[in-house]
A and B are shown apart, each in its own frame.
Chain A
Amino acid sequence: DQQVKQNSPSLSVQEGRISILNCDYTNSMFDYFLWYKKYPAEGPTFLISISSIKDKNEDGRFTVFLNKSAKHLSLHIVPSQPGDSAVYFCATSYDKVIFGPGTSLSVIP
């Protein structure tokens, strides 16, 4: 039973527009969330994180929003660039890192 869900397997966005990747989790005890980015034939790399004491964290073009009451978080990429095309994994870190299934983002030039 998945504890971290990413219901959109794929997403296509035009270059320069906003990419919004969504993630839902099941356990209200989860208090720390991460996003990873993965290119083909490579391992995931850490992108950005957020603690449950915050509702927003920003790092350059990447912003993560957390809605604890809805058990939902989202990653916004603005503006999207072709190099952002990758699989994005939402994850939570409790006693171990628990990943979602990933969303494949394609940024079209």
Chain B
Amino acid sequence: EAGVTQFPSHSVIEKGQTVTLRCDPISGHDNLYWYRRVMGKEIKFLLHFVKESKQDESGMPNNRFLAERTGGTYSTLKVQPAELEDSGVYFCASSQERDRGETQYFGPGTRLLVL
């Protein structure tokens, strides 16, 4: 069974540009989560989808971030326009049931560097 995949693995962009990150969850997983780790600090929750609906987007930093999950399969996270402080590793995770974290399977992350 394929795990959670994320694309691209790395992205280097200039301040003010737009970047779109993609996450493909494990097939059949209705729950999809985005997280971010900035500068080796804690991994912070961004948002949670159940199928195509945003269940919780309380962690989204500001309106420069837009997440979508059309059709309830893969998800995209767009940053527009990117700022220097957006640099970090963006993780996606998926789970079949809403749980307390034990069955969230994480992707390898997208490393974003904004110059």
- Chain A contact residues, CB within 8 Å of chain B: 2, 4, 32, 34, 41-46, 49, 89, 91, 93, 95-102
Whether A34 lies near B101 (C-beta < 8 A) is yes
24 of the cross-chain contacts (CB-CB < 8 Å) are A2-B42, A4-B42, A32-B100, A42-B106, A43-B108, A43-B109, A44-B43, A44-B106, A46-B102, A46-B103, A49-B101, A93-B100, A96-B45, A96-B48, A96-B56, A97-B45, A98-B42, A99-B35, A99-B42, A99-B43, A99-B44, A100-B42, A102-B42, A102-B43
Instruction: Determine the distance from Cα of A19 to Cα of B30 in the docked complex, in whole angstroms.
Output: 37
- Of all chain A residues, the one with the shortest Cβ separation from B39 is A101
How many pairs of A and B residues are in contact by the CB < 8 Å rule? 61
Chain B interface size, as a band, is: 20 to 34
A-side contacts of B91, CB under 8 Å: 43-44
Tell me the nearest residue of chain A to B109, going by C-beta: A43
Give the secondary structure class of B's interface: loop
Question: Which residues of chain A have C-beta atoms less than 8 A from B105's C-beta?
Answer: 43, 45
Kindly provide the distance from the CB of A7 to the nearest chain B CB, expressed in whole angstroms. 13
Nearest 8 pairs of A and B residues by beta carbon: A43-B106, A93-B100, A99-B43, A97-B101, A93-B101, A101-B42, A96-B45, A99-B42
